[in-house]
Amino acid sequence: MAQTGRRDFGPETTTDEVLEGIDLSGRTALVTGASGGLGAETARALASRGARVILAARDREKLDAVAESIRRATAAEVETVALELGSLAGIRAAAGRVLERHQALHVLVNNAGVMACPESRTEDGFELQFGVNHLGHFLLTGLLAPALLRGGSARIVCVSSRGHQQSPVRWDDLFFEKEPYDKWAAYGQSKTANVLHAVELERRLGGRGVHAFAVHPGVIPTDLSRHMEREDFEHIRRRSGGQLRLKTVAQGAATSVYAATAPELEGRGGVYLEDCHVAEVNDDPESREGVRSYALDPAAAARLWELSEELVGQRLPV
Ligand SMILES: NC(=O)c1ccc[n+]([C@@H]2O[C@H](COP(=O)([O-])OP(=O)(O)OC[C@H]3O[C@@H](n4cnc5c(N)ncnc54)[C@H](OP(=O)(O)O)[C@@H]3O)[C@@H](O)[C@H]2O)c1
């Protein structure tokens, strides 16, 4: 695609186009869920501009293969760290390993995720989607915050989804203990929590040079759909009003890379981006565009922070 300028970025913009002219040498970025899909591409793109990248996920073999392919394609330093976001002990161990090796971090992309899985629990008893997508990243980010603050200027990217429109945080029944489990409501609330996490991170850290962004990547065929059945694809098609536009992985990861690096976002944060732009607030239940106001509500963001600290059993140094 011929690029005419950063202001023309849109749904078809790729990671490499976003990074044109940007030098990331001397910067260290950690990307979760980097063993495939959008995370692997996000890490590759950042590395291609000179960032040292730390790839985090569960599957060692897949991580090593992605790391090797990035080393072959770039001159960047590439490390891996085993991370199970469904285990608080596992997250503490992974964060400890990162902090032992790195004084400072400049980019944290909270990208790992699971979608619409059958009802299950994390090691610590949390509903899996809320536990992995939100609480796992909440703890990881809190533990890594001192290194991000030492980075001087740093960005946190919370990879959310348009799926946040399917549910606000279910304050009275977070883990579906009162009502029957609904895999899409569970995904929706976890993705709303990702946006609220960015809002509260920005409030707490923005004044100290660490800015946080929530991102909707678009709709990209990846392994994320591994739990989906035929009727789920129908459900998504119906929700999109028959106008489902698929992106490539490089287009899908572009908004994360944009949030992590765009000079025009300097000094901003606590916003939700899609197609490499800050999205409008949109509460029209018929519309799939933009971000619901409940996901940007500062009071809900503060409430979620407190609740999350209670659930992970730790006050975070943020
Ligand atoms: N693809 C889309 O259309 C789309 C749309 C909207 C939002 N998103 C969001 O984009 C992000 C990336 O999705 P994707 O499409 O790239 O999916 P994907 O290909 O399934 O990749 C998901 C990544 O998350 C990791 N992961 C899953 N469970 C984990 C756990 N318990 N602990 C640690 N890592 C875990 C996986 O690694 P291992 O299994 O190897 O550990 C994998 O690297 C997700 O947050 C998703 O919600 C995607």
3 band by pLDDT with thresholds 50, 70 and 90: very low
pLDDT tens, 181-208?
A: 999 999 999 999 999 999 999 999 999 9
Q: Given this model, what pLDDT does residue 84 score?
A: 98
Q: Given this model, what pLDDT does residue 32 score?
A: 98
Q: Residue 241 pLDDT > 80, yes or no?
A: no
Distance 144 CA to ligand 1 centre (A): 20
Q: What is the dihedral of CA 296, 298, 301, 302, to 10 degrees?
A: 180
Q: Residue 255 pLDDT > 70, yes or no?
A: yes
Residues 6+ apart with CB under 8 A from 41: 15, 249, 250, 252, 253
pLDDT tens, 109-141?
A: 999 999 999 999 999 999 999 999 999 999 999
304 lines ligand 1 (CB under 6 A): no
Is 218 in contact with 317 (CB distance < 8 Å)?
A: no
> CA 46, CA 264: separation in Å to the nearest integer?
17
> CA 185, CA 119: separation in Å to the nearest integer?
12
Q: Which helix (H) or strand (E) holds 202?
A: helix 183-205
Distance 176 CA to ligand 1 centre (A): 22
- % of the chain beyond a pLDDT of 70: 98
38 lines ligand 1 (CB under 6 A): yes
Sheet with 52-57, side-by-side order of all strands: 78-82, 52-57, 28-32, 107-110, 154-159, 210-216, 271-274, 277-278
Q: Pick left, alpha or beta for residue 220 (phi over 0 → left; psi -120 to 50 → alpha; otherwise beta).
A: beta
Q: Atom 42 of ligand 1 has which residue's CA nearest to it? A: 33
> CA 37, CA 310: separation in Å to the nearest integer?
32
Q: Given this model, what pLDDT does residue 34 score?
A: 98
Distance 115 CA to ligand 1 centre (A): 8
> CA 217, CA 37: separation in Å to the nearest integer?
11
- Go through the domains of the chain in sequence order and give each one's CATH number: 28-234+250-312 (3.40.50.720)
39 lines ligand 1 (CB under 6 A): yes
Q: Given this model, what pLDDT does residue 112 score?
A: 98
Q: Atom 43 of ligand 1 has which residue's CA nearest to it? A: 33
Residues 6+ apart with CB under 8 A from 224: 37, 113, 114, 115
Distance 301 CA to ligand 1 centre (A): 23
Ligand 1, residues 62, 224, 228, 255: which to mutate, most atoms within 8 A of Cβ?
A: 224
- Which atom, in ligand 1's list, is nearest to the CA of 84? 32
Q: Report H helices in 51-182.
A: 60-73, 88-101, 128-129, 137-150
pLDDT tens, 61-74?
A: 999 999 999 999 99
Cα 193 versus chain centre, distance: 11
Q: Residue 59 pLDDT > 80, yes or no?
A: yes
Q: Given this model, what pLDDT does residue 237 score?
A: 77
Q: Given this model, what pLDDT does residue 79 score?
A: 98
Q: Pick left, alpha or beta for residue 87 (phi over 0 → left; psi -120 to 50 → alpha; otherwise beta).
A: beta
- Which atom, in ligand 1's list, is nearest to the CA of 85? 32
Cα 220 versus chain centre, distance: 15
Catalytic positions, written as ranges: 160, 187, 191
Give me the chain's average pLDDT, please: 95
31 lines ligand 1 (CB under 6 A): no
Q: Given this model, what pLDDT does residue 7 score?
A: 79
Is 129 in contact with 136 (CB distance < 8 Å)?
A: no
Cα 213 versus chain centre, distance: 9
Distance 32 CA to ligand 1 centre (A): 8
Q: Residue 150 pLDDT > 70, yes or no?
A: yes
pTM here? Answer: 0.97
Cα 158 versus chain centre, distance: 3
231 band by pLDDT with thresholds 50, 70 and 90: confident
Q: DSSP E strands: which ranges in the chain? A: 28-32, 52-57, 78-82, 107-110, 154-159, 210-216, 271-274, 277-278
- Taking residues 157-168, what's their average pLDDT? 98
Q: Residue 1 pLDDT > 70, yes or no?
A: no
Is 112 in contact with 32 (CB distance < 8 Å)?
A: yes
Cα angle value 187/189/195 (rounded, 5°):
105
The β-bridge relationship of strands 154-159 and 107-110 is: parallel
151 lines ligand 1 (CB under 6 A): no
Distance 21 CA to ligand 1 centre (A): 28
Q: Residue 2 pLDDT > 70, yes or no?
A: no
Is 204 in contact with 298 (CB distance < 8 Å)?
A: no
Q: Given this model, what pLDDT does residue 317 score?
A: 84
57 lines ligand 1 (CB under 6 A): yes
